[in-house]
Structure 1
Amino acid sequence: MNTGKSALERFKILRLLLAVYRMRAVRALFPVLIIGLVYWEGQSELKRIHLGRTLHELRHVPAPDIAAMMGTALAAVTVMSAYDFLLKFHFRLRISTWTLIRYSWIANTFNNLIGFAGLAGAGLRTLLYKKSGIPAQTLTPAIVFLSPIMITGLSLLSWTVLLGLLPAHQLFMEHGWLRFAVWAMALYLPLFVVMQRSSLFAKWVNRGEGRTPWLTVGGSVGSSFLEWTGAGLTFWVIAHTMLGTADLRSVMSLYVVAAVAGILSMAPGGIGAFDLIALLGLQLLGNDGDQAMAALVIYRLFYYLVPWLIGLAFAALEIGLPAKKSASPHSGPLEAPLNLWQKAWGWPGQFGFLSDLGVWALGKLVLAAGLILLLSAATPELVYRLEFTEDLLSLPVMRVSHHLSVLIGFTLVLLSRGISLRIHRAYRLTGLLLVSGAVFAFTKGFDYEEAIFLLAVALLLWISRSRFYRISAPFSEQTAFLWGLGTALVAVLYGWLGSYSHHGFLKRLPPGLEPEWLQQHSHAAYTAAGGLVLSWLLVTLVAVLRPSRRARELGEPLNQARLAAFLEQETGNPLSHMLFLGDKRLFWAQDGRVLLAFAGVRDKLVVLGDPVGPKRLAEAAIGELRQEADKYGFSVVFYQVSPEYLPVYHEQGYRFFKLGEEAMVPLSAFTTAGKKNSDLRSVANRFVREGYVFEVADPPHSSELLEELRHISDEWLRRRAEKGYSLGWFKEDYLQLAPIALLREPDGAVVAFASLAPGYDGGITLSIDLMRHLKRSPNGTMDYLFVRLLEWAKEHGYVRFNLGNAPLSNVGHSTGSFREEKLAHLVFKRGGHWYGFSGLRRYKEKFSPEWEPRYLAYPTGLVLPVLTLDLVRLVSRPPE
């Protein structure tokens, strides 16, 4: 550490950092810069920390001290409910005290750990209060009112430091830049008071009811003061317990300065900056670095992590119960008291996103259970517990229990994803492993704390068992890779931690003494690798030996006779003919009266076009498919849907993205006469003069004709793979179902062809399908083929002719369009090098079509760029 650096130079560094912060492009780096500055200032002190000694300090904390520190931390978190009581008083919210305390605990603990500048707590409060019937017009200003209150207490405590009531001179002398940070925080309080009393705040937040009363302003500052004072007292109790000589005023001043640094870093929970400042400050007070680090770890554990785990349990119970309290076939002796307990707390049932939050919380609790088992197995147990366990059990049993704990820990980490995805088999296996893990935690070293936690998570899973309804979920190669990489990282950390803590513990033993039961920690790396491999094998065997075959058989394969009979009775659409290709599964909804055809890609079922059948049944049919797909973890997406059905998708909660426009030529108005169509007329006259012959061949087609058309198709493809899904491809059985337009040379050889697709709407619409031509065909070949096709369709009584889609056409041209659509517009204009989007539209404009928009309808939970890549993959997939 360079002690000769002047305070002025450090201030210049801080001022430079603040200037950089104003640049939006690098604001995300600000927390890293703050932490880097702190590390640079105190790197010499940090080098004195030894992980092995820190772990030893943590493992030897007496149980009464743990209870005292834990009790103080939980009391400090409970005090934070003052914020919600303030909201209830100021906005006259009708909500019970117990409900308010539960909501406060969930929101505050999530906000403490996750942070995001208070967005985590604000978002959860919004959802929870909304579930209790608080109207949005009351809830929105309440959340806005609460947001600026959170740091007023820290600002007040900053004044006590600056005025010398809490001494921080020694810390300021060593790290002078912190004085300016504390001053910045202290000035927030007068700014807050002025803002609360302003007319603008009265108009927009207080809903025109006047300036915030002084009593409410005082209550706001008081609520925040209780939070930060409670956190500071928790920090002092832990420091006093672990370090023994920690003075209250000195530790409180240290806590305030460290908290200010944490707030400035904007990292969740101030992690990094707070810890480094607190560690350096504790060492300046004359404390051992390893003991100071142990105190910080315990503070993080008791004030942040443990309350958050309790908040996860609250969230899981709050939103994880069945919507209706009906008798369960699995009812047992605990069912009645549990129902009474739930009724007393007033826990509701399913509520949209909050239901997902509850299962997500259960998944994280299972993940925490696995990590706790691994951490327990990686660090040496307390000696007196091992000796007690060895008196009850044999050493081989303890060793087997140790290795099984590692295996169960890795398996729980893997299964936590299945819990978050609501898979029933994952729930059953996880429950069994949690109970088994609790048993082995006892038998490997009498670790009753871990066992109690595992049993508590198992109980929460059992209470929420009705949430696990899914039969399976998609497991892609990308998911397997990421999950495998994550668990491998956990294995590496386990092996490193186990070896490090083993050697650190050995240094404290007399020379030559190494108890036999300690040898199980000396091969932590091998244990980690073995546990990882065995857990992967176990989960793989469960997935392979008990596959969910129905997930691959959702819907039915093509039954050509049934489909043809259905389309004779119900009105189809321009995409209905492609269902005869057989590459899509057919889902018959509403007792077979509505048809939805889809293909799967990763974790999505992509339905082609709108539902076919009575429109009044469409919404129920979509809900039926979504419910069935949800059992297997699939999301349902609708591709190339028409504007007519947008209200139906909207009622299902879908979002929309415009894919482009479809060219529909009104045949009654089509003509080659006139100046506008002179180019088409000249092309047609040229082909007639040169002796080309147009004809439409009706099925069945001869094998000779199909062979000739295949030659044309193969040459046109030029060894490129066929595309599928929303595009037709050369398939003889499919081509036999509809007429084919042919263009022959004077000698009778076919030079170009186009298959036709009926619209199944009573002869109103005819569509172009597969179009291919020889490389040597003259210019204007497809123009002439289209002209003659349109004339032929007009002669045969069709009303309109579908020339197909122009992708990204007329998308995102408005200033009010979404960002994604504006990007699509840019691709449409500049993407001609890859596809020729604008050129395709200009080509179809020759035939004077009416443009009809087509949309992508997708659930709100999907990310549009990822979905777009999946759709490209689906369309580009070679047909089987």
Structure 2
Amino acid sequence: MKKMLQWIKEHVSYFKSIFIFSVVIIVFRELLSISKTISFEQLGNIFQDLALWKIVLMFLIGLVAVFPMIGYDVILNKILKQKPKKMFLIESSWMINTINNIAGFGGLVSIGLRSEFYGKEKDGKKVVQALSKILIFLMSGLSIYSLIAFFLVMFGHTNDYLQQYWIWLIGGGLYFPVVLIASLIRKDEYIGDIDNQTRAGLILTSFLEWTGVLGSFILIGLLMGVKLNPLQIIPLFIAASVIGIVSMIPGELGSFDIMMIVGLSALGINREVVIAWILLYRLFYYIVPFIIGIIFFIKNLSHSLNSRYSGIPRELSTELAHKFVVFLMYFSGIMIVLSATIPEAFSQLNWLKKLNPLSFHIITQLPAILLGFLLLIMGRGIAARVKRAYLPTIGLILITLVYTFIKDFSWGVIIFLSLLLVIIVFSKRELFREQLVYSWEMITVDGIIFLALTLLYIVIGVYNLPTFPHHKNRFISFFFFPSEKIWFSGFIGILLVTLFSYLFIRYLEGNRFKMGSLLDEDRVLSLLTKFGGNTDSQLIFLGDKEMYIYTDQNNEETVLLQFKTLNDKCIVMGDPSGKKEDFPAAVEQFINEADKWGYLPVFYEASEEVVMFLHEFGYDFIKMGEEAHVDLPNFTLSGKKMKSERAVMNRFTKENYRFEVLTPPFSKELMQELKQVSDEWLGSRKEKGFSLGFFSENYLQRGKIAVVKNQENQIVAFANIMPTYTKEEGTIDLMRYNKQAPSGVMDYLFISLFNYMNDEGFTYFNLGMAPLSNVGTSKKSFIQERIAYLVYEFGSRFYSFQGLRDYKEKYAADWVSRYTLYSRKSFIAYVMIALLIIDNAPIEKQKKMHGVRRILRNRYQR
């Protein structure tokens, strides 16, 4: 025996799992049984005859009737001397009692569930003792009502039909006195040992429970307009309930229904009215509270699983719920508009009609068009996860529900809208964005849907013109429309929706918040000087980009990102600058903040280190080219390979050309001379910015400038040395020469720079990127990179990609890959277009944009 008990203790978790699984099976079977007794078509007809306020009141009566049962759980936790959170207690109790109402078995199911929910942290014996006290008093309320009903039958003016149930009533009535006496006499820990307050509380709770059961049935009948005598109904209802409990039939199905139908018919109530009465009672006392209980069950179960598995289940479920609700809203909107556009198709093809979840029978053209397009518009807000879309979407669904109740009651529509409403409420956590940035991707998707539906509607209108030659074939018959007047009302709806769409998008956009802040030169310089930078860091001083500075836990500014915003894309130039240990935290913070405000970062010309980190954030990447690095300590002009470069250096030396490195500050005369060289080099071309420097005195004053001078001491070529705020890497930005410069001047300049930077202690020289170099050369490369390879191959006739690679190959000891990373939510075509616009926009246009931004910046929050 001891071995058996020990084995049971060791495998108690398995028994609990079997119990829970059994309850699920029982509940599922009983729901199927109830569904067979409920005719949704009949309920629809019943609701059409009832006023809305009566239906709402029945709903509230059902909820109030269930509420007293929470008293059992309050008393149980008091006996166990534990204080669970009030919300947990209410939700758990509601769930247990409503499941028990469906499952039945004389309250045994509720005892098992209470043990699972409240007894985990208590000794098993104490839990069993406490539950036994609850169990014996569960039916005391029904027993008290049995005694009352017995006296009504024997001594009241009841129908003769009710006299036959006196034996059941006296049998049920004896239960309470027997249990009460047993609890008073016995001193054991299971039935006895109950203080008077606990005993009174259990009796009162049971009495209120059965008052709720009986009261809900009678009140629903009164709201239906049934002429009834409560003194006649009470004995019949109690007798039917006692027989159902004794038979242990879940939910008292079958025997209860038969007794009530026969008994109420004998009392002179129409049989059809009785069936409707029982249907409504089943719905509002059993089904509706049970659905709420299931919601509580899912919530508690998800909380438990979420805690166990580090929050992944909640994130996954809310993400799936969000995607599902977006699909439902878009799908429903499209189907409703189509049903209003080609009504004949929906009437002729049953499969198409079944696809429409909101298929109204009496809905007019204007509301159908409005509702369909409004669902699409609201769907955009939900799809974009914007907080502002939540309440308007809830309002639209509630208005549609009211419209359904009033105009065209349909169970299918009500269930669908209720499901949609629940999912939206459940996925509210997914709506975290503060604003909508209406991206090109969104405009494309919405534009295709809206334009296709609108064009189809216009085509239908043209086809139905009296002057249009109609064809008699089956397909074209779908285009027939009831009348021009109805079509015109729908067209007016489309115009109204267009206006509403614009206003709603503006509402979702709010006061556009711009990421980052304008350049603060002192803050940036302080950060770069202290923590270092890279070859792109100096580009921030061009002033054509915003800055984003990360502050660590010690409130110290440690990382800088420079970026420019176009549409919803924050295009970050190069790798972050500053303290490398903080790069992951800074990039993560930037991505999260951008996500909050509806932007999608794009990282342009990023290193492999950034690629590996961002890949974990769901970023895709495409190789943009390779960067040429010159090994300065080992660079030499000796050898056959460098023969032509040695010749260039000898020639420039013989002709008395000089290489000099000038240190700021520079005089106005020098800047003017450099400007003339730059303008001559540019010719008719326009300056570009973002990833390249442009001629700006303020920018050039921030670093050394390497120049090549001729025999007359005139500057014929120059390059500004970019401060990298590190001794490891050196590079230049602007490379300009005039028409007087001899051929090979840039080779002379570069070789001189290599020698100079090697003397300065730099490890390598960055010659910059060769665009599309070694991109997509493998058959296994990404399709985007394979397309880029074609651009590289065939684009060389317009832009010398290969020539640039070959030129840098002379000096490069190593090639380092550079990538563009973008969110999977972005279309790669739009990412490339954004890069093309930003990277190639003439600087004059950018300055104008900056000017406009300064004028309008008071409209934006920063």
TM-score, normalization: structure 1? 0.53
- Between the aligned partners of 2:457 and 2:637, the Cα distance in structure 1 is 77
Query: Does structure 2 conserve the Cα–Cα contact (< 8 Å) formed by 1:401 and 1:443?
Result: no
Distance 2:645 2:617 in 1: 45
Alpha-carbon contact 1:619-1:652 (below 8 Å) kept: no
- Please list, as runs of the form range in 1=range in 2, the aligned pairs for 1:235-384 lying within 5 A after superposition: 338-343=295-300, 355-371=318-334, 373-374=336-337
1:565 shift after superposition: 0.2
Query: Could you say if the C-alpha distance between residues 576 and 457 of structure 1 is closer, same or farther in structure 2, counting changes exceeding 3 Å?
Result: same
Give the alignment partner of residue 379 of structure 2, picking from 405, 416, 419: 416
Q: Which amino acid aligns with 1:872?
A: L
Cα distance change on mapping 1:456 and 1:820 into 2, 3 Å: closer
Whether 1:748 and 2:713 are equivalent positions in the alignment is yes
Return the alpha-carbon distance in structure 2 between the equivalents of residues 537 and 342 of structure 1: 40
The residue correspondences of 1:690-729 to structure 2 (distance < 5 A) are: 690-729=655-694
Aligned twin of 1:766: 730
Within a 5 Å distance, the mapping from 1:616-631 to structure 2 comes to 616-631=581-596
Q: Secondary structure, in 3 states, of the residue corresponding to 2:605? A: strand
1:770 counterpart SS class: strand
Instruction: Identify which range, 480-489 or 560-569, moves more after superposition.
Output: 480-489
What is the match of residue 873 of structure 1?
837
Q: Is the 8 A contact 2:386 2:435 kept in 1?
A: yes
Match of 1:688 among 633, 653, 678: 653
Post-superposition offset of 1:547: 3.7
Amino acid at match of 1:791: N
CA 1:707–1:664 in structure 2 vs 1: closer, same or farther (change >3 Å)? same
Matched residues in 2 for 1:813 and 1:424: separation?
45
Contact 1:739/1:756 (<8 A) preserved = yes
Against the structure 1 CA distance between its residues 449 and 828, is the aligned structure 2 distance closer, same or farther, given a 3 Å change threshold? closer
> How many angstroms apart in 1 are the aligned matches of 2:812 and 2:446?
53
Q: Corresponding residue for 1:167? A: none
Matched, 1:468 2:425: no
Q: Aligned to 1:801, which of 765, 772, 781?
A: 765
Counterpart among 649, 665, 678 of residue 614 in structure 2? 649
- Note the alpha carbon deviations across 1:197-255, whole angstroms, 9 max, x for none: xxxxxxxxxxxxxxxxxxxxxxxxxxxxxxxxxxxxxxxxxxxxxxxxxxxxxxxxxxx
User: Do the aligned partners of 2:435 and 2:512 also contact (CA within 8 Å) in 1?
Assistant: no
Tell me the CA shift for residue 468 of structure 1: 0.9
* Cα distance in 1 for residues equivalent to 2:737 and 2:419: 70
Answer with 855-864 or 716-725: which moved more.
Answer: 855-864
Aligned AA for 2:838?
L
Change in CA separation of 1:525 and 1:771 when aligned onto 2, cut-off 3 Å: farther
Answering whether residue 541 of structure 2 is matched by residue 541 of structure 1, we say: no
Q: Distance in 1 between matches of 2:388 and 2:401?
A: 20
| 1:46-85 correspondence runs (5 A) | none
What is the distance in 2 between the residues matched to 1:855 and 1:492? 42
Counterparts of 1:823 and 1:400, CA distance in 2? 51
1:150-299 to 2 correspondences below 5 Å? none
> Retained in 2: the 8 A contact 1:576–1:759?
yes
Distance 1:424 1:858, change over 3 A: same
Give the conservation status (yes or no) of the 8 Å contact 1:710–1:730. yes
Give runs of aligned pairs for residues 423-572 of structure 1, distance below 5 A.
Answer: 423-441=386-404, 450=413, 453-476=416-439, 479-480=442-443, 483-494=446-457, 522-544=484-506, 547-549=509-511, 551=513, 553-572=514-533
Contact 2:541 2:699 (C-alpha < 8 Å) held by counterparts: yes
Q: Does the 8 Å CA contact 1:738/1:757 hold for their aligned counterparts?
A: yes
Q: Distance in 2 between matches of 1:873 and 1:621?
A: 27
**Counterpart secondary structure, 2:538:** helix
- Hey, what's the Cα distance between the residues in 1 that align with 2:458 and 2:677? 63
How many residue pairs align between the two structures?
522
Distance of 1:741 and 1:66 partners within structure 2: 87
- What's 1:165 paired with? none
Distance 1:469 1:649 in 2: 21
In the alignment, does 2:530 pair up with 1:573?
A: no
Mapped to 1, the partners of 2:368 and 2:641 lie a distance apart of: 81
Asked if 1 retains the 8 angstrom alpha-carbon contact of 2:719 and 2:734, the reply is yes
TM-score norm. by structure 2 comes to 0.54
Deviations 1:306-355 (A, max 9, x none): xxxxxxxxxxxxxxxxxxxxxxxxxxx99887323544699977657765
The answer as to whether partners of 1:378 and 1:521 remain within 8 angstroms in 2 is: no
Matched to 2:528, the amino acid is L
Instruction: Indicate the structure (1 or 2) with the bigger Cα radius of gyration.
Output: 2
Q: Which amino acid aligns with 2:575?
A: D
Secondary structure of the residue aligned to 1:852 is strand
Q: Does residue 782 in structure 1 map to residue 746 in structure 2?
A: yes
2:794 matched to 1:833?
A: no
Alignment partners' CA distance in 1, 2:805 and 2:395: 60
Aligned equivalent of 2:547: 586
CA distance in 1, matches of 2:595, 2:489: 38
The 3 A distance-change label for structure 1 pair 601 and 499 is closer
In the alignment, which residue of structure 2 is the partner of 1:81? none
Residues in 1 aligned to 2:378 and 2:653: alpha-carbon distance in whole angstroms: 70
1:126 aligns with none
User: Cα–Cα, structure 1 residues 336 and 342, in superposed 2: closer, same or farther, change >3 Å?
Assistant: same
Q: What residue in structure 2 maps to residue 326 of structure 1?
A: none
Distance 1:335 1:596 in 2: 49
Root-mean-square deviation (CA, aligned residues, Å) is 3.9
Distance in 2 (alpha carbons) for counterparts of 1:660 and 1:380: 55
Any idea what SS the aligned residue of 1:716 has? helix
Equivalent-residue separation in structure 1 for 2:591 and 2:532 (angstroms)? 23
Q: CA offset at residue 743 of structure 1?
A: 2.1
Alpha carbons 2:340, 2:369 under 8 Å: kept: yes
Pair 467,817 (structure 1): closer, same or farther in 2 beyond 3 Å: closer
Identity in percent? 36
- Is the 1:369–1:453 Cα contact (8 Å) retained in structure 2? no
Q: How much does 1:864 deviate? A: 4.4
Structure 2 CA distance for aligned equivalents of residues 711 and 606 of structure 1: 32
Unaligned stretches of 5+ in structure 1? 1-61, 68-332, 382-397, 504-518
- Which ranges in structure 2 are unaligned for 5 or more consecutive residues? 1-39, 46-289, 345-360, 467-480, 847-862
